Amino acid sequence: MKVLVTGAAGFIGSHAAERLQQEGYTVTGADNFSDYYDVSLKELNAKAIHEKGVEIIRMDLRNSEEYSKLSKDFDFIVHFAAQPGISASSTFEEYFGNNVIATQNLLEFAHKNKSLKHFFNIGTSSIYGLEATFPETVAPKPASWYGVSKLAGEQLVLAESRGDKLKASSLRLYSVYGPRERPEKLYTKLIACAFKDEAFPIYEGSENHLRSFTYVGDIVDGIFKAIEQHEKLNGEIINLGADDENKTGEGIELVEELLGKRVRLEVVPKRAGDQSRTLADITKAKKLLGYEPQTTLREGLKHQIKWYKENFL
């Protein structure tokens, strides 16, 4: 079985590509190696999964002409590629281009794959809005350009399913952390600040935000289960995440404990559109996929600290 993983040089996409290759799938990864963050980190991810047998194609999904670089015999497409997160430095045009236009182009390419069995869109809990504690049936209320554009991309995919044009579904991910996490994300930045003896910028009030911190390996396990059971998932939206929650402040304290050192915190103004609470309702994932996250926050952070030491110290 052949799988196309978009955003394969990124954080979660690289882990998913690696796992699927290990499970016996033939994986092709596509990535534009955007400079949203240090490209050398994406190169590091790409090298790691290439060594495991994953082919990496450099291409921009927004450019329809570049799809000629891909074969047209994929059995599955797993669509991670996106303009990520909530960032004041990202423009609306970047969110729209990477999360909507690119998704539509990819869907048009998907139709050219006659053996395609399923298209998996990788969504986000940000689709729900400032609080993400709901089942998949609740109407979304995104509060950021990121959330709005990811919802639009998701609906483009699901429209293909409703119109009986493609078998497709969307997986909404919750607060993923672990090895290869982007450098501006909470735990990678926190660990880096600890080792560099730099102040960690914390958004005002965010230490009390509640999060379903979910280890990347548990997320990838859910995605693998979805691919293996794709025949019953057409048109479905499924939450994937940990069904417990921790305050951001508790996560910071745990990193300090594991490192044996304090991290200097520097309070910065609140970030517009930031979620105050995420708690994954995974009732549906448990029922349809047999999904059960296994990794505690302590165990996952140990893995992340080990990865950071091995690659950056």
Question: Active-site positions?
Answer: 146
The answer to whether 179 and 119 are in contact (CB under 8 A) is no
CA distance 97 to 161: 22
Strands 246-247 and 210-211: antiparallel
